């Protein structure tokens, strides 16, 4: 499976910015999880990945007491588009993060239709 990084219209890539904000160990572990997603694709399930709603999944990474999540969606071309990431501080994934991922997904498809 090909991995894509969602880019805003101004070129900023939220997941890459998130990865750059993390310490080296967590960033390294997330990169490993992304490689597993690339290898397993749609077959990746818990504990590595979890479906959050109709279109959005979360890539799950834990390092000690820190929990990181990368949200993504699958495209029709056997790709996973990574949309946004965050450090999880509560039991449930914040709704605003899921909404952001869905908004990025909609924008991605709108731009794809225009091109």
Domain that holds residue 79: 2-114
pLDDT confidence bin for 114, thresholds 50/70/90: confident
| CATH number, position 102 | 3.30.2310.20
Query: Average pLDDT of 7-24?
Result: 96
Tell me what the mean pLDDT of segment 81-88 comes to: 96
Could you tell me the pTM of the whole model? Answer: 0.94
Percent of the chain scoring above 70 in pLDDT: 99
Number of domains in the chain: 1
Q: What is the mean pLDDT of residues 71-90?
A: 94
Give the pLDDT band (50/70/90) at residue 112.
confident
Q: DSSP letters of 42-106?
A: GG--TTTEEE-SSS-EEEEEEETTEEEEEEEEE-TTSEEEEEEEEE--SSSPPHHHHHHHHHHHH
Distance CA 31, CA 77 (A): 22
Q: What is the mean pLDDT of residues 42-67?
A: 95
Interval 55-77: pLDDT, tens: 999 999 999 999 999 999 999 99
């Amino acid at each position: 499976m090909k991995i894509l990084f969602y880019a805003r219209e101004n070129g900023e890539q939220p997941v890459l910015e998130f990865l750059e904000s993390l310490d080296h160990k967590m960033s390294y572990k997330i990169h490993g999880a992304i490689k597993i997603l690339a290898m397993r694709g749609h077959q990746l399930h818990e504990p590595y990945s979890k479906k959050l709603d109709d279109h959005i999944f979360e890539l799950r990474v834990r390092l000690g007491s820190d929990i990181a999540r990368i949200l993504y969606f699958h495209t029709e071309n056997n790709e996973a588009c990574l949309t946004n990431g965050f450090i999880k501080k509560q039991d449930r994934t914040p709704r605003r993060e899921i909404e952001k991922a869905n908004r990025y997904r909609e924008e991605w498809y709108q731009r794809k239709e225009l091109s």
